[in-house]
Amino acid sequence: MIRSEILARVFSRHGPPIAVLTAYDALTAQLALAGGADALLVGDSLGTTVQGHSDTHAVTLEQMCYHTEIVARCAGQTPVIADLPIGTYATPDQARNSARQLMEAGAWAVKFEGNPGGVAAALVAEGIPVMGHLGLLPQTTTSFKVHGRDAEEARRVLQDAVQLRDQGAFALVLECVPDALADSVQAYLDIPVIGIGAGRSPHGQVLVIYDLLQVPPRSRWPRFVPTRYPAGGDFLLGIIRTWVGEVRSGAYPQDGESYG
């Protein structure tokens, strides 16, 4: 089956809800795949989760290509979507050049934030599948809060969603919006909406894999992170602390843990 057919099958509103996880390297890709994720998103969230920055602004196209290549190498027949980082899609021509590089690195599709004039249409015309991203836009927001509460903001989100659909986007990420707005967007579109902090109405959900695993441990998580699951960060931290303690006490290595 060719990639376009797989992409259409996975991102269908007629199938089961779609589970998407971010992946940045071989470890996160393999974990997400083993867990049954339907698609992998090489997110520019790697700026915060991998590089240790406070935002995604430092992420370059070259870095996105590097991480996309790694994830694609592990993904097999699972779709890989790659983010266009900030400053790489200001115009249709720039977007085409940037998206081509990500596709050459192994992406099946690209995602960008907002609705920059003519960009989605230009990429689709080039044969590059496009996933939109509306609501809270991490690349440019100055306030990490719920977006679309007031009527005008909600109207713009819905208008942009319809325009992206009309330009040929195959799916749309909707981040941190009220349930009612997500309901409206999902009702207007005939393409799947993938939510993150957008309630139950979207036909799929996406999470940063480190948020899902609660790694590293922290005292507060966004509301949409399911903290009712086991906290992977606490579990891993316990293993590390135990090993460090055994090294310091001389209990490690034990018999059978060295070559006699």
Which residues are known to be catalytic?
Answer: 175
- For β-strands 204-207 and 130-135, DSSP reports them as unpaired
User: In sequence order, which residues have a C-beta less than 8 Å from that of residue 145 and are 6 or more positions away?
Assistant: 136, 176
Task: Please say whether the beta carbons of 102 and 84 come within 8 A.
Answer: yes
- How many Å from the N-terminal Cα to the C-terminal Cα in the chain? 52
Task: Please say whether the beta carbons of 107 and 154 come within 8 A.
Answer: no
In eight-state DSSP terms, residue 114 is S
* Geometric angle at alpha carbon 178, from 174 and 184, rounded to 5°: 70
In 3D space, the residue among 198, 193, 159, 164 whose CA is nearest the CA of residue 181 turns out to be 198
CA distance 154 to 68: 33
- Whole-angstrom CA distances from 179 to 162, 174, 175, 249 are 18, 11, 11, 54
